[in-house]
């Protein structure tokens, strides 16, 4: 009897699309995420970063202070949920050096130390109240986050499906880009002049005489104050507001889509990933609008110009994804620069201003301010990442040319001998 033939091997494309992770490994994505989330906690804890005053109270007096008189279940739940991702990211970041109960204990200590520092600094902020209850609930959130994730760390990082998808769809250098893509839907939550109109921080600074960039510019150029109020195009100078709104939205979505494609592998399902990203942003923005303004439509911000821009720019983006990576990177930078220029030059929309004031006074006031800063800074962070990738590629090519020249010199020297 002849032996049975061996089973057919997997097709090369399938093996390449879903590589098997090798051994225990660390997660750069988790560590970058921990850094970003820690910065978000610091921002949310110390916002608005103004009005600092020394009231003569020790910054650690809250540790022995009596229980606050007014505290709600919403505050307690928010404190626990706010530090839950922090504890989970600490455990994921410690893998594989530390895992299980020890990693969970480190997450608890790290959460307690971070919360203690934030509560101590809030002593000098009149708009914030330091509380030992906040410290306890924050530490509890970090403990729960670490305890929930600890049993699944090996599965998530070493041999989990998410790890295989991350390795199959994204380049090794794309951890920071993935974090930016995950934050992109949240950057759309705060009301904008135009749909996806990010990067308007320049106009925010130049139209506010109290901002530090404007104060520096006024010191260098005293005549700046005379034309400060003329920043931006006037409505009578514009031929079509709808056309310009569509241009802003299209530039933003094309720049974001091309930026996302730079960190993806060639065999990644780019269109499906980008479609999921766009759907997440629209649904999150609609949900946030419904929570803030329950009497209005959840899609009140989706104007006719925005709908037209999303349709046409999605079709253009689907064609641009077939271009070489270096050309997509250049077009991404051009689109992001165009987005920043337009959002800082176009005139302010009074209806957007009214909506923005309602958000500033909403129940999620600290989250609203954080979402606004994400929208302000996201295009600049994405642009810097693309520049960094160009530099890395240039350095790698230079190193390869140097090695090739060294080999040629060695071969020539061997021939002469």
pLDDT at residue 367 in the model: 60
What distance in Å separates the CA atoms of residue 314 and residue 331, rounded to the nearest whole number? 15
Do 154 and 221 belong together in one domain?
Answer: no
| Rounded Cα–Cα distance for residues 314 and 320 (Å) | 10
- Whether the predicted pLDDT of 336 surpasses 60: yes
DSSP classification of residue 53: -
Percent of the chain surpassing pLDDT 90: 27
Instruction: Look at residue 224 and tell me if it is in a domain.
Output: yes
Cα(276)–Cα(282) distance, integer angstroms: 10
- Boundary residue ending a domain (169, 189, 213): 169
Tokens of 287: 């949900």
For residue 200, give the nearest of 414, 359, 375, 41 by alpha carbon. 375
Q: In terms of domains, do 324 and 353 share one?
A: yes
* 173 neighbors 392 (Cβ within 8 angstroms): yes
Q: Is residue 12 part of a domain?
A: no
Span 284-313, average pLDDT: 81
Q: Residues 185, 159: one domain?
A: no
In a domain, 415, yes or no: no
The string of pLDDT tens digits covering residues 230-246 is 444 444 444 456 777 88
Residues 144 and 287 in one domain: no
Minimum mean pLDDT range among 11-20, 157-166, 177-186, 355-364: 11-20
Q: Is the pLDDT of residue 386 over 80?
A: yes
Q: How far apart are CA 135 and CA 113, in angstroms?
A: 9
The verdict on 99 and 202 lying in the same domain is: no
Domain count, the chain: 2
Same domain, residue pair 206 and 348: yes
Residue with tokens 């006031």: 365
Euclidean distance between the first and final Cα of the chain, in Å? 61
**Burial of 249 by CB count in 10 Å (0-12 exposed, 13-18 middle, 19+ buried)?**
buried
More confident residue, 178 or 65: 178
> What per-residue confidence (pLDDT) applies to 384?
92
- What pTM does this model have? 0.67
SS3 content of the chain, % helix, strand, coil (to 5): 70, 0, 30
Does 114 fall in a domain? Answer: yes
Among 185-199, 258-272, 302-316, which stretch is predicted with the lowest mean pLDDT? 185-199
pLDDT of residue 342: 86
Position 391 scores a pLDDT of 87
Sign of the CA dihedral running 285, 287, 293, 297: positive
What pLDDT is attached to residue 97? 86
Tell me what pLDDT residue 46 has. Answer: 82
Query: What's CA 241's distance to the chain center, in Å?
Result: 29
User: Would 225 be classed as within a structural domain?
Assistant: yes
Token pair 């987005």 is at which residue? 339
Q: Which domain-ending residue is among 143, 169, 195? A: 169
- C-alpha torsion sign, points 216, 218, 224, 225: positive
Q: Which domain holds residue 195?
A: 181-404
In a domain? residue 10: no
Q: Are residues 214 and 275 in the same domain?
A: yes
CA dihedral (74, 76, 79, 85) positive or negative: negative
Q: In the numeric block, which tokens belong to residue 83?
A: 């530090």
Beta bridge pairs of residue 264:
170
Residues 153 and 231 in one domain: no
Residues 301 and 289: their CA atoms lie apart, in Å, by 9
pLDDT tens, position by position, 12-38: 443 344 444 445 667 777 888 898 889
CA 247 → CA 204, 244, 255, 267, 308, distances in Å? Answer: 21, 5, 12, 30, 10
362-368 contacts at long range (C-beta below 8 A, 24 or more positions apart): 362/292, 364/291, 364/292, 366/44, 366/47, 367/44, 368/189, 368/190
Whether residue 409 lies inside any domain: the answer is no
Contact of 187 with 198, CB cutoff 8 Å: yes
User: Residue 352: its pLDDT value, please?
Assistant: 53
CA pair distance 124, 55, nearest whole angstrom:
7
What is the chain's mean pLDDT, rounded?
78
User: Is residue 6 one of the residues assigned to a domain?
Assistant: no
Based on the fold, state whether residues 197 and 161 are members of the same structural domain.
no
Domain termination residue (choose one: 144, 169, 194): 169
Q: Do residue 123 and residue 239 come from a single domain?
A: no
- Return the pLDDT at 3: 44
Residues 198 and 318 in one domain: yes
Q: How many CA atoms lie within 13 A of 401 on its CB side?
A: 6
Give the span between the Cα atoms of 131 and 49, in whole angstroms: 18
Q: Cα–Cα distance between 239 and 342 in angstroms, integer? A: 15
As a dihedral over the C-alpha atoms of residue 300, residue 339, residue 182, residue 114, rounded to 10 degrees, the angle is -100
Q: Any idea which of 5-9, 212-216, 353-357 has the lowest mean pLDDT?
A: 5-9
If asked whether residues 33 and 126 sit together in one domain, one would say yes
Position 280 pLDDT exceeds 70:
yes
């Amino acid at each position: 009897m002849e032996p049975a033939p061996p089973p057919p091997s997997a097709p090369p494309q399938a093996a390449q699309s879903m590589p098997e992770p090798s051994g225990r490994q660390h997660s750069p994505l988790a560590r970058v995420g921990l850094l970003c989330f820690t910065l978000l906690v610091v921002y949310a804890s110390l916002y608005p970063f103004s009005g600092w005053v020394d009231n003569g109270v020790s910054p650690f007096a809250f540790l022995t202070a009596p229980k606050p008189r007014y505290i709600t279940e919403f505050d307690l739940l928010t404190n626990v949920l706010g530090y839950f991702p922090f504890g989970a990211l600490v455990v994921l970041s410690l893998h594989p050096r530390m895992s299980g109960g020890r990693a969970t204990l480190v997450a608890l200590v790290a959460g307690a130390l971070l919360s203690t520092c934030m509560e101590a600094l809030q002593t000098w902020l009149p708009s914030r109240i330091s509380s030992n209850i906040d410290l306890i609930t924050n530490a509890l959130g970090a403990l729960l986050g670490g305890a929930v994730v600890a049993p699944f760390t090996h599965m998530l990082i070493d041999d989990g499906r998410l790890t295989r998808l991350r390795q199959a769809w994204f380049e090794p250098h794309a951890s920071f880009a993935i974090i930016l893509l995950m934050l992109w839907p949240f950057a759309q939550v705060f009301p904008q002049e135009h749909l996806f109109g990010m990067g308007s921080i320049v106009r925010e600074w130049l139209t506010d005489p109290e901002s530090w960039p404007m104060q520096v510019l006024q010191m260098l150029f005293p005549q700046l104050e005379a034309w400060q109020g003329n920043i931006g195009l006037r409505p009578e100078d514009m031929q079509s507001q709808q056309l310009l709104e569509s241009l802003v939205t299209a530039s933003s979505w094309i720049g974001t889509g091309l930026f996302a494609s730079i960190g993806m592998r060639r065999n990644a399902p780019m269109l499906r990933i980008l479609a999921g990203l766009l759907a997440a942003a629209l649904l999150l923005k609609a949900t946030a609008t419904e929570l803030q303004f329950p009497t209005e439509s959840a899609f009140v911000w989706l104007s006719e110009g925005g709908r037209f821009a999303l349709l046409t720019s999605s079709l253009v983006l689907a064609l641009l994804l077939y271009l070489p990576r270096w050309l997509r990177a250049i077009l991404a930078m051009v689109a992001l620069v165009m987005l920043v220029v337009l959002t800082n030059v176009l005139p302010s929309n009074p209806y957007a201003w009214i909506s923005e004031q309602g958000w500033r006074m909403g129940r999620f006031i600290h989250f609203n301010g954080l979402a606004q800063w994400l929208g302000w800074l996201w295009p600049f962070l994405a642009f810097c990442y693309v520049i960094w990738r160009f530099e890395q590629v240039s350095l790698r090519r230079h190193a390869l040319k140097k090695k090739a020249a060294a080999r040629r010199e060695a071969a020539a020297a061997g021939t002469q001998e």
